[in-house]
Structure 1
Amino acid sequence: MKTNTIRLFAIMALVFAFGASAANKLEGVRIWAAPESTRLVFDLAAKPSYSHSILPSPDRLVVDLADTQSKLALEKVANNSKLVKKLRFSKAPSKGMLRVVIDLNRPVNANLFSLPPTAPYGNRLVVDLEEKTAPSRNVTASAPQSLRDIVVAIDAGHGGDDPGSIGPTGLYEKKIALEIAKRVQAKIDATPGMKAVMTRTGDYFVNLNRRSDLARKHRADLLVSIHADAFTSPNPKGASVWVLSMRRANSEIGRWLEQKEKHSELLGGAGEIIQNADDEQYLAMTLLDMSMDRSMAISHSVANDILRDLGRVTELHKNRPEMASLAVLKSPDIPSILVETGFISNPAEEKLLRNSAHQEKLAKAIHSGVMRYFEANPPGDSMLASRSKSKASSSKHLVQRGESLSGIAARYGVSMSSIRQANNLKSDTVRIGQQLVIPQG
């Protein structure tokens, strides 16, 4: 009888100990810093149950993880964020709860969500922080506008905690996308009259909606998102270019109509008039519809031009633009395309995508396709449009022995600077046999 009683107490002790132990465990914390935002990722043993609150004076974000324990040394977590001062544990309001405090350097907006296991990661709680900014005010410029560069936003897909697809040898899509994007950026920046802006310049994640916002902030004429495709089998291969589907286009117009405070971003002065006039929403719909139609038409045209050049350097998966409901393509005011540079899941193409010479060919093809479109359709207020008009009304001169730039300018009655500009010359030196475009005097 005594033995049975001892066994019973032993079993009850084990049950109590098991029940008292936390069902979840915080196994790691990673911080990915972007120029204007920061992503923290909590790696957990199981799906998290959590709550959070933002507290001022001093600024901090408090995250409570129910039924969770951890032995992490938070002070040792690598932190290169301008927003996050430090991480620490604090006394939880109830037993079994784990409280993590994120001390902040300035006020932020926070968005928290959990993610299920996806190789190479397990369960995660994602904390996205964005610095709070003062609302911008529209300022009417009175000074005349000068000729501008054509702006192309280059979006390297994925990044940070989001590796994208993973190749057979462990190559991450995010790495390939950034390497090719930087090559495209360099080629666009080296083109007179064009300028590139990057949605990300390092290994960090940028919210999908934020990517279009960054392009809009820089008044981009085009957004090119660069990715590498993948499939469940290793057989599919080839590059492709994607544009927005009509179904997504229609739903996006409806979404923008509901966000009246953003009308001015898309419609300029017309947006200011419509903003508070509910009975004029049909006008907003018409303008947004026209803007979307224009963007989609340009997107299709650029996509075809890029496919034409990609087909010369790599195999194509589809030789026509494909349509999809992808978030990065959804801006009604910015023509947007997504380039799949090849199938990273295909062993042969993974090897190619890793190769720097092949990356250079892909970047050159993307740049050539973009250039072909804008040379044929330059925005009217751009330097490229001005040069096109100048070339259309100009003559040509073949440099002979003994001629100088000053003498050629005097002969045609034009300035030396106008010849330099028409020919993208960096100095006054000319060479025998060089053909110069002479602008109209």
Structure 2
Amino acid sequence: MPSALPIADPAPADGALPASAAEGSAGRDLGVYLHVPFCRVRCGYCDFNTYTASEIRGVKQSDYAGQAVAELDLARGVLADAGVAARPVSTVFFGGGTPTLLPPGDLIRMLDGVRGAWGLADGAEVTTEANPDSVTEAGLAELAAAGFTRVSFGMQSAVPHVLRTLERTHDPARIPLVVRWAREAGLDVSLDLIYGAPGESLDDWRRSLELAVAQQPDHLSAYALIVEPGTKLARQISRGEVAQPDDELQAEQYELADDLLADAGYAWYEVSNWARGDAHRSRHNLAYWTGQDWWGVGPGAHSHVGGVRWWNVKHPAAYAQRLAEGVSPAAGRETLDAETRRVEDVLLRSRIVDGLPTELLTASGRAGIPGLIADGLLDGRAAIAGRVVLTRRGRLLADAVVRALLS
């Protein structure tokens, strides 16, 4: 089952936010994340808050769009009552789960709920995740006509045995077809890949990268497989049925991805993300990494406004019941103090190519920069300009760099 929610303070039944959430809000962007918690099958490596049909008896997928709109209505009132600046939404992201398991009309209804609550900014980025086998040509065209601007396909691999290990259900031969459909609809395209699956060789990974690049997507994500506790994959590894991912091979796979993508005209802008030009970076994800405001809609979804962070109840039935009763679905929350916010800024901003202002570091953190440059982990020229920017070697050892910067 998905991982447990954090332990923190209880959230008020009406969802009310403290006055501190409004401080500086006019200078921050507002994004909306809409979590669609439904999947056809549960992949063995996944610990996201998702449910297959057999796991959500008594909950109808057909009711979900209305529940999401109800939370959006609540959100509008909560932000207004807290004095948070009224801003049109800059980015909207439908994630999951598999959002495109719902009919296009349901996703459009949810997007219209965002419009009704706050409006969309000019040029707003509106993304949906999708599996290659969960979309149709007509459905993508319908989403584009309603204001969606971007689709992120969970390609993961082009190699059948790797897809079987990951328990993905699509045929890799479908990737060019769905990319063409998205392009013809006028949507930007991102492809998501996973490397380091048990049994995946360097040549297998090269094959996946080459198929992905051949589609000329606007954006690519490549994530190292992480074995999450409690997942089916973790149990398989503990029983010796499949091998533990190899850290050294994963490092080689990352370097291969960076080389091939750079040769194809993609530039890294976050440790696991590359784009064909700045205009195609995921603005929604950048909002997370730079500490903007976002409201997360749906079971288990997390939100952040002005240093206040909260998360919803996990199960779709509990989520639906709370909204039906007019109660906030928030399960818990925390208000971050100044030091915690600084530490999170270091953790997140150090991962992006724009880097981290050295002024966010303590004196001891700044004192460690020359050593990190000497070890080839930080860019020396950027440091002279007052920013901490990872080298490629630094990206491979990002967690260790952050620990040193926070020492």
Q: TM-score range by the shorter chain?
A: under 0.3
**If you compute each CA radius of gyration, which structure gives the higher value, 1 or 2?**
1
TM-score with structure 2 setting the length:
0.25
TM-score with structure 1 setting the length:
0.24
Q: Which structure has the highest strand share of the two? A: 1
